[in-house]
């Protein structure tokens, strides 16, 4: 009857939404009874939802204490971004042969918009365009498992992903150029390894800019 299905499912979707949107920020204590009351159902489906979120790494759980929204300490950020650079690079390479003219045109347009934003820099808008740009390029990846990992990775980063370029605004210029290069590679049907290397290096560069700013050594991969 209900399109969204079970309450457990609804609870899962709502919690995930609130966490990803930053409504519940890291460290927020997820009290079962409160959430259940808010949503209007009992604690059982909420518990199940939280278990799933736990397995995805969005919340941490402590026995007899409860769940809290998982934070992102610098280490976790490094590790997740490193992993994402690897997986998203592979996804982009695998997707490349299936990227059509339409997508390429869209991507070029997005990059043009990003170039415009450079003159009057708006980090949040730039980051959103950037996210769209990359999503467009890896979406045709024929391996759903890899796509799933990409999505989970970005989810783990939570709200930080919506504002990456707030932290490394100086990367934005190089980023736009690298995008252009990546598009050329894809359009020209370059070997998968080249596309992968470019896509990965692009992410790694942003990560390293972030690390350098915090006085940390660059990622070895």
Partner DNA sequence: GCACACTGAATCGTATACGATTTCGTACTT
Partner DNA sequence: AAGTACGAAATCGTATACGATTCAGTGTGC
- Counting contacts by CB under 7 A, is residue 47 touching DNA? yes
Rounded to the nearest whole angstrom, what is the least distance from the CB of residue 10 to a second copy in the complex? 12
- Counting contacts by CB under 7 A, is residue 67 touching DNA? yes
For residue 52, what are its two tokens? Answer: 């799933």
Count CA atoms within 13 Å of residue 25 on its CB side: 1
Widest Cα–Cα separation across the chain? 57
Beta carbon nearer to DNA, 32 or 139: 32
Candidate list 17, 23, 38, 42; residue touching DNA; CB under 7 A: 42
Beta carbon nearer to a second copy, 31 or 118: 31
**Residue in this structure with the two tokens 């992102």, named with its chain if needed:** 72
Contact 35, 11 (CB under 8 A): yes
Candidate list 19, 30, 84, 149; residue touching DNA; CB under 7 A: 30
# binding residues, DNA (CB under 7 A): 22
Rounded to the nearest whole angstrom, what is the least distance from the CB of residue 152 to DNA in the complex? 23
Contact stretch for a second copy (CB under 8 A) within 25-33, 81-89, 163-171, 204-212: 81-89
For residue 72, what are its two tokens? Answer: 């992102």
First-to-last CA distance in the chain?
50
**How many other CB atoms are found less than 10 A from the CB of residue 176?**
20
Report the C-alpha gap between 161 and 170 in whole angstroms: 17
Binding residues for DNA, rule: CB under 7 A, are 1, 6-8, 30-34, 36, 41-45, 47-48, 63-67
């Amino acid at each position: 009857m209900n399109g969204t299905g079970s309450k457990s499912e609804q609870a899962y979707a709502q919690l995930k939404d609130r966490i990803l949107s930053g409504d519940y920020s890291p460290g927020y204590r997820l009290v079962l009874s409160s959430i259940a009351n808010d949503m209007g159902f009992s604690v059982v489906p909420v518990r199940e939802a939280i278990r799933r979120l736990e397995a995805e790494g969005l919340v941490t759980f402590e026995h007899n204490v409860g769940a809290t929204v998982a934070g992102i300490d610098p280490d976790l950020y490094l590790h997740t971004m490193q992993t994402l650079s690897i997986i998203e690079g592979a996804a982009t390479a695998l997707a490349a042969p299936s990227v059509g003219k339409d997508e390429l045109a869209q991507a070029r347009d997005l990059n043009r918009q990003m170039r415009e934003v450079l003159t009057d820099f708006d980090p949040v808008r730039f980051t959103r365009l950037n996210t769209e740009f990359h999503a467009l390029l890896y979406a045709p990846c024929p391996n759903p498992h890899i796509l799933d990992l990409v999505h989970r990775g970005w989810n783990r980063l939570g709200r930080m992903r919506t504002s990456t370029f707030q932290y490394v605004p100086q990367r934005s210029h190089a980023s736009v150029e690298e995008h252009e290069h990546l598009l050329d590679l894809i359009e020209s049907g370059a070997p998968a390894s080249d596309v992968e290397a470019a896509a990965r290096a692009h992410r790694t560069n942003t990560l390293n800019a972030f690390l350098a700013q915090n006085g940390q050594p660059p990622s070895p991969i």
